[in-house]
Structure 1
């Protein structure tokens, strides 16, 4: 989508020459002073009365500006061959309009006209309501990044980007003249040099700052519902010095719409998270050290239900004029927004086979007022993903394989925790179907938005057996790799060995048997003593 520029002039203070910034080109100003010796490097410019054509053309070569050196002001002359800096790409689909500035006052076939145009700026045109001549001429850049506006009468022109692709920051309007001067070359001992002349086919090489954005997630240290899932957004700052002194960043906003399975803020057991938790969002600039910005001073923060999905939460950071000024002072850095959330669900309706705990998130950067006002699409980050799932355990009789309700299990992050019953993640009891469900557990093989070989496994231990059954003595290691609540673990329980009850029939029988044995032993002793007496 391309934006359509609003009426009026966006930026102030653009100088005549600074708008014509070549991508790495060198040379004198695009507008020459007709006074003798006023050309670049002190070389003379041709006399005004030598302007012998009534019209010319303007070719605009448009490239993205990925960062780096800006280059010197352009001369208005064609650079052939032209080699853009590394990383600069032709920008297709930019529409430029050319409006002639009051040809009566700024008649470039006169010295007075050149003197008048020397002090002209886009802001002066707006402030003084200097008339612009109709009709308006326009052209759109092609796949090679250039657009040509032909048949322009000799004069001064206000050039405006009226349409531009998303992700680019438009240049403020600038001024160019048709014609411009070719100052020629100075004579050397070996060459005679070339005279100055007027050039009617003018070439300019402005660059559009391009805004890039990225997003990451941090959840490797999280394992359960309520643990922090932290999102970090980085957005480029448009380079105002690609245009001229006085160019401004007229707006900057970052928006992150949180999935309904994410809750904004920090989890506190027993408390309802507040959307007024400003500590859950931090904003800074990636300077060294980082420049921490202040809510209410450098930016405003709003956290509210999303316009299109009332269950989702929209976090919006909008820079104030004070914050925009700090951006302009740090165009070689990035804006950093960190948002803290926690997972509140992972498709934990175990009866729903389509339940999903794969939660993706994407942020949008609005690098200028046109994007904020909906005239152009924002820059979006790549989607990043946090994955959360469930695990279920089936408790059944070891012999009959029937479901056992009433068994209590706990799940832990480590084997040591399970063996010592410490730091339980969750506790669940089996229902009539013998199942206990543990939900909202981070995937074992996924952390910080990517697959990981250092898997987070979980350990399940039985902490209370059903009546009549023995505890399962060994914790079971499990992996969570699916959001669906599958019957992942089956644990058999054996019935207890039943000891006789005190005072029961079994006890009486044993007592009787013991009495008989004792009696037999006593009789045997008596017989032995009688025998010994007779013999003696």
Structure 2
């Protein structure tokens, strides 16, 4: 029995020492990094040496491409904490020392603004950093999206953890202007102090620029332009133009804003062999408003008739781009002006006054030439409004004939021509006065009229005829014209027609009444005479 007891004791001691040796050889678990999450098998650890980050961008358009330039590199220190340093543009595999401001500020300044969600400070810093990063683009590691936008979403994969200057571009459609964007792709922590795949992205802000500028032309100075739009005005008349466009939104310091490009160019025809007649734009007629606020004092209007005739340029005055953008960025702008149509314009002539807008697509871009976008008034606006200011002249020919014989043309009729108001009544003052003469085939032609409604008022009638009691309403459309001239025939009644007498001669109610009264008086007189004789 003793032998058996000693044997069991030896076995127990051997097992004890074996277990002790295993425990002594197992690493400690003091670091939180080594405490894996419950779902560690499904969520692998982040390996700082593996570029497996992903950035997801929303609010994009079909055809958009995202390019990310790494300006900051994120790593782990010995205490399992993240830290970020600027990428050294002179050696992209190295980081700058802590506190470096090579991109316009310390990296921690941007991180603090992002952590505090201080939007205004973050946007301003993003513009500063983007401006500096733009100087180093050829030296920085860059990563581009390889897929296509689906439901407004696009991703960039295989990214090292860190900060990126992000550029969004579209070779097919550059009418969206995106703000400068700094994107953080940062490892994601769990509640066990364990770091996982770096992720980042955003829904970048943008300004929608129309594919074309909306431009209106009117023959009226007063009232909303979109209610008085015409596509023709008369020769030697004033045409009123209004251009509406969007101003891109750029947020940044005054220095950043002053570096933007923004201008409008108006081209109007002069006297040439190709363009008979002209439009003389009146420089002092310009009114420029942003959401109803006058901003003309911040802009310069240049019309160098000698060096560049027929071209007017509008842009922020020197040193005032920042002030202008702070008032107008992200808002529509309305430019109103007027011009006189030349006397040489013949009926049927079409003349166009195109206007274009040039602007920076992004605050900073890869290629300065590609970074500038121009749109004009010859495309198709999203709201389908008239965007091309056409001046197309038409004429009105007035013929005077007799009711009795329509083939008998009359001379000597004088007409005043009035435009119709929006309420259908005629304007107070006539457009012109014309007389039918034999020289013009017993007719009168009024050239250079715009399409629309007019009233002919006959102020003098040919001898032997009665003037019409009503004005003649005429509507000029492109239909029913002969060489852009509409013929209006007006018939007059000869003044010897019986049914045109002022008073009736026979059979009328007035004659019958007088006859009845006369007969009654005669009967009464006869009765009185008879009675008088009987009394005698």
TM-score range, shorter chain: 0.5 to 0.7
Taking structure 1 as reference, are residues 409 and 316 closer, same or farther at Cα in structure 2, changes over 3 Å only? Answer: farther
1:457, 1:480 within 8 Å by CA — same for their partners in 2? yes
Deviation at 1:94, TM superposition (A): 1.8
1:407, 1:464 within 8 Å by CA — same for their partners in 2? yes
Taking structure 1 as reference, are residues 443 and 167 closer, same or farther at Cα in structure 2, changes over 3 Å only? Answer: same
Deviation at 1:458, TM superposition (A): 0.7
Deviation at 1:278, TM superposition (A): 1.6
Alignment RMSD (CA, Å): 4.9
Secondary structure of 2:323's aligned partner: helix
Q: How far apart in 2 are the matches of 1:424 and 1:377?
A: 40
Q: Render the CA deviation track for 1:318-367: whole Å, top value 9, x for unaligned.
A: 23443422232123543221011355589854xxxxx478x887754434
Taking structure 1 as reference, are residues 283 and 133 closer, same or farther at Cα in structure 2, changes over 3 Å only? Answer: closer
Taking structure 1 as reference, are residues 147 and 132 closer, same or farther at Cα in structure 2, changes over 3 Å only? Answer: farther
TM-score, scaled to structure 1:
0.54
Deviation at 1:303, TM superposition (A): 7.3
Structure of higher CA gyration radius: 2
1:368 aligns with 2:360: yes
Q: How far apart in 2 are the matches of 1:432 and 1:217?
A: 33
Aligned to 2:396: 391
Q: How far apart in 1 are the matches of 2:332 and 2:99?
A: 41
Deviation at 1:317, TM superposition (A): 2.0
2:467 to 467, 473, 478: 473
Q: How far apart in 2 are the matches of 1:343 and 1:155?
A: 61
Q: How far apart in 2 are the matches of 1:390 and 1:217?
A: 19
Secondary structure of 2:460's aligned partner: strand
Aligned to 2:188: 182
Flag structure 1 segments of 5+ consecutive residues without an equivalent: 1-48, 64-89, 185-192, 262-271, 350-354, 416-420, 445-455, 498-536
1:407, 1:462 within 8 Å by CA — same for their partners in 2? no
Aligned to 2:333: 335
Equivalent runs, 1:68-467 vs 2, <5 Å: 90-101=60-71, 106=73, 108=75, 111=83, 113=85, 115=98, 119=106, 121-125=129-133, 132-133=139-140, 137-139=144-146, 141-163=148-170, 165-172=173-180, 174-178=181-185, 180-182=186-188, 195=193, 197-212=195-210, 214-219=214-219, 225-241=235-251, 248=257, 250-257=260-267, 274-275=280-281, 277-287=282-292, 290-294=293-297, 298-302=299-303, 315-330=312-327, 331=329, 333-343=331-341, 349=347, 355=348, 363-368=355-360, 375-378=372-375, 380=377, 381=381, 382-383=385-386, 389-396=394-401, 402=407, 404=409, 407-413=412-418, 423=430, 425-430=432-437, 431-444=439-452, 456-461=453-458, 463=460, 465=462
1:166, 1:379 within 8 Å by CA — same for their partners in 2? no
Secondary structure of 2:486's aligned partner: coil
Secondary structure of 1:235's aligned partner: strand
Q: How far apart in 1 are the matches of 2:58 and 2:182?
A: 16
Deviation at 1:194, TM superposition (A): 6.0
TM-score, scaled to structure 2:
0.54
* Greater helix content: 2
Secondary structure of 1:479's aligned partner: strand
Flag structure 2 segments of 5+ consecutive residues without an equivalent: 1-44, 78-82, 87-97, 108-128, 223-227, 272-277, 421-427, 498-536
Taking structure 1 as reference, are residues 107 and 183 closer, same or farther at Cα in structure 2, changes over 3 Å only? Answer: closer
Q: How far apart in 1 are the matches of 2:50 and 2:476?
A: 75
Taking structure 1 as reference, are residues 93 and 379 closer, same or farther at Cα in structure 2, changes over 3 Å only? Answer: farther
Q: How far apart in 2 are the matches of 1:50 and 1:150?
A: 15
